[in-house]
Chain A
């Protein structure tokens, strides 16, 4: 396997104002009767990007994909692919291919015939088809299964046939609708990396729809978090995790503690927030212009330290509480600490040493502490 690290690090066309986006959703709305599946949504995706549409079911992510494939037409707005408006172009003339959630393998055809199907439609010469099918079978490691019918394959093998079939035509864009949804956890994790390698190898633009945030974080260059047909945030996995723009995004990706409070003052870049119980914290990372009003300080569990004694020095924030619950997960331990005002804060600690006596137990008085820049201030 080639190392993708260096490619990945330098690949960020979305930060380049000169770069022309490859796929543009421009004010796209899609209504089904009274239901608005996609609501005035605008989004730009770049060439060779691995882009994830992430959201709960019914958030419009699949509708977005189906509009790009041509199975649905937008109620209003435009979709551009490489500068060309896709309106009115039927699915069979679009340079995009889709991998279906159900795989949609043709049950009456062999694996080979399934992969060759799209190539035959294009009228490719027979010898070329055979060569391409051979390449595809090799790519997804299914050479011994070429003559099998789909029902003679396991779930993971079917998934790979579906993948091979959808990339066989070398589409400009590959759409993947919950590509790993039907696989078990272990196979899913393996396949995630396979998909990433494949995308690099073929140099295609991948758009993947998923409800699994871990999957999106692992594979995608950028993630769009969707809710009720609107884009909540588009950013790299790290940005989305470390700097969510709203309570919704913070909650949707990973675990988060939202400490609600009122701004009492600003000192330079630092903001003082008073909680419901009267305790005050000092935090950084507030958006400009937030000098008053109700805000939330979002902080991830692994950035909170739990200790039996009050932390020395006054640099950070510290609050007293009681251990409410402990969950040992193997690689880490999660503590639920109940603060004086009744709020339960989740903190996690990495178990870097093997089998150590845990000094903390249920109902212990503990201190939680965190640095002022360990989280972000959210107004939305």
Chain B
């Protein structure tokens, strides 16, 4: 139980040994070459499967709609050569982005998406934190099983699980029948096609993404810190807010980002549970793309969505860097 923070002890002016890995006399060159190669692989992956597709989407967002296949122009082609490319570049326009500002629908959809995602993330945290805490404090022999139970729903299709909620939430569904049977309510509750249904769907679907990072940060926490806080005069509640919660913040931030970011662009849950009047950017995007076949506008919607999400991601990375500094 002499678990320390795991950070090498290297205070200035002490006789501590320098951290391992510094000043490797031999094999230094090959080691750095190998590590560069290893780092290169994820960068190549991101370049190929993120940056290139993004540039394509970005280019489409600057194009104009046309009734053709593909439904936009200009279309860059290698056949046209350099002069063709330059001619194409001249045809690019920011009209689609201007269009987004002219119709309040898009702005409302963005705001509504961010709000729904923020509320859902908070609710997921409220549900997930006690779960993660319970798991971290469970006997070590039980933890593996509990972890498994959290991950288990992933083994069923996401779509089917969201569909299943329709059967539970609809007016004649399981939940209403149960509440009627209990006598808590006289008439079925309208949960389907409301924001409540979306919250339930998102909390349910994204719970593991919240629980796992929270569990990871709570599990490595030394329980004697809580005892020390109580020993120094903290009630258990005070000890939670002064010790446990601050120390689990990296997990809270990681979990919140993992839930918030996909929830903003969520399409399936609002479509199936939220009904037609729910305004979320994922649905707007889908409508532009498939119903209106307006690829350039839907690409512009996607680019703006990405920009909106970059802000919390940067925040998240800053928080992580701070946490690593200690």
Contacts and interface: CB of A to CB of B under 8 A. Distances in A.
B228 A100 contact: yes
A279 interface: no
- Most-contacted residue by chain B among A100, A149, A181, A182 (CB, 10 A): A100
A91 B227 contact: yes
Interface string A172-202: 0000000001100000000000000000000
Contacts of B224: 100, 102, 104
B9 A154 contact: yes
A104 B9 contact: no
Interface string A41-72: 00000000000000000000000000001110
Contact of B7 (A71, A91, A122, A151): A151
B205 interface: no
A98 B11 contact: no
Contacts of B11: 148, 152-154, 157
A117 interface: yes
Contact of A102 (B2, B230, B232): B2
A102 B222 contact: yes
Interface stretch (B53-61, B185-193, B233-241, B285-293): B233-241
Contact of A151 (B2, B3, B232, B326): B326
Interface string B312-326: 000000000000001
A97 B2 contact: no
A107 B326 contact: yes
Interface in B13-35: 14-16
B233 A71 contact: no
Interface string A90-103: 11100011101110
Given A107-B247, A148-B11, A102 B4 contact: yes
A108 B241 CA distance: 13
Contacts of A117: 229, 232, 242
Contacts of A165: 232
Contact of A155 (B9, B231, B247): B9
A101 B1 contact: yes
Given A151-B5, A154-B11, A92 B234 contact: yes
B229 to A, nearest CB: 7
A106 interface: yes
A272 interface: no
Interface string B42-58: 00000000000000000
Contact of A181 (B2, B231, B243, B247): B2
Nearest to B8: A151
Nearest to B6: A151
B228 A104 contact: yes
Contacts of B231: 69-70, 91-92, 96-98, 166
B246 interface: yes
Contacts of A122: 233
Contacts of B235: 90, 92
A150 B230 CA distance: 19
B326 A149 contact: yes
B137 to A, nearest CB: 15
Contact of B9 (A101, A108, A118, A153): A153
- Most-contacted residue by chain A among B14, B231, B233, B234 (CB, 10 A): B231
A208 B244 CA distance: 28
Nearest to B226: A104
A169 interface: yes
A205 to B, nearest CB: 16
B243 A106 contact: yes
A121 interface: yes
A41 to B, nearest CB: 22
Nearest to A178: B2
Given A92-B231, A104-B228, A154 B14 contact: yes
Given A102-B222, A153-B9, A154-B9, A92 B233 contact: yes
A169 B233 contact: yes
Contacts of B142: none
Contacts of B247: 107-108
A210 to B, nearest CB: 15
B2 A90 contact: no
A289 B233 CA distance: 53
A122 B15 CA distance: 37
B225 interface: yes
Given A100-B228, A121-B232, A154-B9, A182 B2 contact: yes
A121 B233 contact: yes
A187 to B, nearest CB: 11
Contacts of B15: 154
Contact of B246 (A105, A108, A118, A151): A108
Contact of B5 (A97, A107, A154, A169): A107
A269 B229 CA distance: 57
Contacts of B222: 102, 104
**Shortest 7 CB-CB contacts between residues of A and residues of B:** A118-B232, A121-B233, A104-B228, A151-B7, A104-B224, A91-B230, A154-B14
Given A90-B235, A102-B2, A117-B232, 18 more contacts: A70-B231, A92-B234, A100-B227, A102-B224, A104-B222, A104-B227, A106-B243, A118-B232, A121-B234, A121-B238, A148-B11, A151-B4, A151-B326, A152-B11, A153-B9, A153-B11, A154-B11, A154-B16
27 contacts: A70-B230, A71-B227, A90-B230, A91-B231, A96-B231, A98-B227, A98-B231, A101-B1, A102-B4, A102-B224, A104-B222, A104-B224, A104-B227, A108-B246, A108-B247, A117-B232, A117-B242, A118-B232, A118-B233, A122-B233, A149-B326, A153-B11, A154-B15, A157-B11, A166-B231, A169-B233, A181-B2
